[in-house]
Amino acid sequence: MAEKILITEYSEEMKTSYLNYSMSVITSRAIPDIRDGLKPVQRRVLFDMNELGVHNNKDTLKSARICGDTMGKYHPHGDSSIYETLVVLAQDFKRNMPLVEGQGNFGSIEGDTAAAQRYTEAKLAKFTDDVILKDLDKTVDFMPNYDEKLMEPVILPARFPNFLLNGAEGIAVGMSTSAPSHNLSEICDLILAYIKNPNMSIKQMMKYLLGPDFPTGGIVANMSELIDIYKTGVGKLKLRGKIEFEPAKKTKDKDRLVVTEIPQTMIGDGIGKFMSDVAMLCESKKILDITDIYNYSNSEGIRIVLELKKDANVEKIKNLLYKKTRLEDTYPVNMIAIVNGRPETMNLKSIMDNYLSFQYYLISKKYKNLLDKEEEKKEIQEGLIKACDLIDAIIAMIRSAKTREDAKQYLTTGKCKNITIKDKKLEKIAKKFDFTDRQADAILDMRLYRLIGLEILDLKNQYKDTMAKIKLYKEILKNKNKASELIIEDIKNIKKEYGRPRRTHFEDAEEIVIEEEKMEAVPCVYLQDKFGYCKIIDTALYEKNKEIVESEYPYVYETDTDDSAVIFGTSGNMYQIKLEKVPMTKIKDKGKPIDNLSKFDAGKESAVSVYINSGIKDAYFFIVTKLGLIKMVDTIEYETSNRTVLATKLNKGDEVAKVVLCYAEKDLVMRTNDNYFLRLAPKDIPLLKKGTKGVKGINLSKNDYVIDAFVYEEDETIDINGKKVKLKNLSRGNRGNKGIKLK
């Protein structure tokens, strides 16, 4: 067979393939379906557990067995993702209503990971059996699994809006979903009210559903913004932990602040991080009244104890904890779900509309299946009742029949060439037989004891029940109000069985403003090496080691701790670092990278000049670029509280070579890589704004570039190829000249 080569545009193929991949991740992996609130892997885990018979009233099964079975039958993407899903479905600190009941170590709220799947066991939660999987065989469609050998459900018949109840989190390509969890009882109240009045506004809906309800409790501190979040489906929740004050009970005891609830975002390593942050606040003297911290949290709840000094300012400590730690955090809301195969941002009304639409679909599907079964039962019952009245003719026919097929033919058509009934009277009756195929099979399978009078009476009573069910099912299918009554009854039962009080509370908290006490300025010396590490040292220490320090550090400034360092980078930006943030160390200590104290990026640029803020008053900066541009800028333009400002604009491919500070009418010298030097008078250098580009300062040869600039001094000596050369004979030149080459 000849090889067929398809020629296609590479960019178009990549675009199409990536789009297909993106949609696959969105719809088949990361984003939940609005109908059951589950991602495909979650749905498959629950369905497989149902198939394995691991129900709530049964014993648990090894997690490894569940994961292996799910992977082999429905989700061939690795057992680690399946087990992680199983673990999350069982964690009551992540789910308002866990869908799986775990046995063994399934992790903790403090970030402890679950034990390996071979050590844990699981079974379906009662809620899952009762609400998520009930009537699975009667209500939803099935589709082939990945290898088309088995069938799996397209969706699970969830009778409750799981998307609201347990929330959802997922990161897809180009989008993510983050839906908070809600209180089951409040959702029930909203459903009951919404069925009666589907035209209610979101503001009216929120009289029933007050807002998010997280498993960890806590406080939503921006209550007034909730209505906009539920109108748009996007926004930010400001979450706070709950802090309680416990006064000392005995004279020897200490007052305590106790964290009893935490924001949902602190689940995992958040508690450990909170405790280390509090310790750092104490070490840095920002909190002086906390003497110790203990974590007594366990499976029963959160209890983090902060012991206080006598007469501590409790409110100030609370504010500092909220401001400086993750005890106050932001929860992003982006309620995206799959609707009719496409991702959509859902507001509260669209969630309820989709939920009720799905419930009416499930009811229609269920009662259509039930009606079909009752219609089939009715057909058989009618045939058996009719057969009881014609039993003599039927028995005579059966006695004359040689095979079951002949008997069935006679029952359905009233004739068969292989059957001859001797009794002409019974034959006349038999020729009127017109039973259906199903009725004929039932008659032939009927046992003789069914001819007892009581059995016949029971059969007729069963027929009446069947007819009553058929009437009811038809009415439900025909009348939407009847279907609504079923939903209402179901929701009331769910609320009665699974409802619980709300955990999360609401308030409109004011923005916390901390007036930090200014630390007393201490004399120090700022040091920065050529690798971008900075530190401050004690003045006395500097005086003792002055020669060593000045030989090792290109930037040395005597100042005090309330000053700041000004760093110019090759990118054209100026960065400021408060010296109070710079560590005070010994001379031999390395210090801290300026990257960690500012937005300076050592991977993309280099520091070309460093000054101290207090030392640049009433002066000018000469800014020289690698391609020979120059300008003068008044230093007053750089007096700002911003930590990063634009020092100068640059042409493409250019960068700053040097920023020179000048206090008086001093000449400037530019030096190139080929050792050309150009001395310029200040009057020849234009005074420009910081947001402008410079003008041409020196004419460069091909491949030459500026490497340095400095203020001209008569006795200045510079190093050229290892030789000391004096500049006293360097005459002034004009801007744009090539300069003088020194050897």
Three-state DSSP at 403 gives coil
Alpha carbon of residue 15 to chain centroid: 27
Provide, for the chain, the percentages of residues in helix, strand and coil under a 3-state DSSP scheme, each rounded to the nearest 5: 40, 25, 40
At 622, list the tokens.
Answer: 């000469």
Q: Cβ distance 672 to 658 under 8 Å?
A: no
Decide if 206 contacts 223 (C-beta within 8 A): no
Specify the residue for token string 């179901």. Answer: 490
468 is written with which tokens?
Answer: 């009553």
Contact criterion met (CB below 8 Å) for 194 and 352: yes
Could you tell me how far CA 223 lies from the centroid of its own chain? 22
- Beta-ladder partners of 222: 508
Residue 577: which residues within 8 A CB-CB, separation 6 or more?
534, 564, 565, 567, 594, 597, 598, 643
Residue 529: closest CA among 601, 610, 605:
610
DSSP assignment letter at 264: G
d(Cα 419, Cα 437) in Å, to the nearest integer? Answer: 18
With 0-12 CB in 10 A as exposed, 13-18 as middle and 19+ as buried, what is 197?
exposed
Cα radius of gyration (the chain): 41
Helix, coil or strand: residue 599: coil
Name the DSSP class of 511.
P
Contact between 622 and 666 (Cβ < 8 Å):
no
Q: Is 12 helix (H, G, I), strand (E, B) or coil?
A: helix
The CA–CA distances, whole Å, from 259 to 221, 301, 533, 720 equal 16, 10, 39, 66
CA angle 645, 651, 654 (to 5 degrees): 90
d(CA 724, CA 463): 118
CB 667 within 8 A of CB 661: no
Which residue do the tokens 């995206």 mark? Answer: 336
In degrees, rounded to 5, the angle at the alpha carbon of residue 177 between the alpha carbons of residues 359 and 17 is 100
Give Cα separations from 648 to 68, 479, 595, 631, 691 (angstroms).
Answer: 62, 75, 20, 9, 5
Helices (H) and strands (E) in the chain, counts: 21, 35
* DSSP letter, residue 510: P
**Of 194, 189, 170, 163, which Cα lies nearest the Cα of 96?**
163
What distance in Å separates the CA atoms of residue 455 and residue 452, rounded to the nearest whole number?
Answer: 5
Query: Which residues are designated catalytic?
Result: 119
Instruction: Tokens for 90, please give them.
Output: 């069982």
639 Cβ neighbours under 8 A, 6+ residues apart:
none
d(CA 539, CA 304): 42
In contact, 658 and 629? CB cutoff 8 Å: no
